[in-house]
Each structure stands twice: as C-alpha cells, then as structure tokens.
Amino acid sequence: MILVIDTSSARSALALIEADGRVVHEEVDQSGPGFDLPARYRRIVEGRSLSRVAVATGPGSFTGLRVGVSFGLGIAIGLKVPIV
C-alpha cells in the first residue's frame, strides 16, 4: 500500500493506493490548519501496512511543500519504508 501526500496547492490530499494503481482511499480538502495531516493519516492507514510513501514536490506553495515532504519523510523514516 502506498501513501500519497500532496500539500502543494490550495487543496491538500492524502490517498492510499494499491501497487496496481487502484485507489483505496482519498481525502481532499482546503489546505491550512484545518487539514490535520496526522489525524487524517491515522484514520486512513489504521490497520493497513505501507510499502512506501509518495510526496508531491511541486510546483506549488513553498510552505505547503515543506509540510508535505517533512510529514512524508517522518512517516517513511518511522516505518522504514522508501519515500519517492
């Protein structure tokens, strides 16, 4: 299962995708403090095993990109899975 993170624009997204490309879960909402990455991550990943983390790297908001990359890197390091 691949966790996809996109915080590069006015709308942020988290998704879980199977290795074959099938979207298992997707959440899209306004970026900013209301888009609680940790809470959404815990809710969609609960009981699932991740094989990698994918993060959108732009173009886009510099701050948004830093948030997404930092969050994704923390998850990847913590779970010892690759980040792409």
| pLDDT 10s digits, 56-70 | 998 998 999 999 999
Rounded (5°) CA angle 47-48-50? 145
Q: Is the pLDDT of residue 77 over 90?
A: yes
CB 67 within 8 A of CB 37: yes
At which residue do the structure tokens 């923390």 appear?
74
In CATH terms, 2-79 corresponds, of 2.40.320.10, 3.60.20.10, 3.10.110.10, 3.30.420.40, to: 3.30.420.40
pTM: 0.92
Query: pLDDT confidence of 25, banded at 50, 70, 90?
Result: very high
Task: Give residue limits of the domains in the chain.
Answer: 2-79
Q: Is the pLDDT of residue 18 over 90?
A: yes
Cα separation, 33 vs 80, whole angstroms: 27
Q: Per the structure block, which two tokens stand in for 41?
A: 């991550």
For 18-68, strand residue ranges (E) read: 23-30, 52-55
Between the CA of residue 13 and those of 2, 80, what are the distances in Å? 14, 22
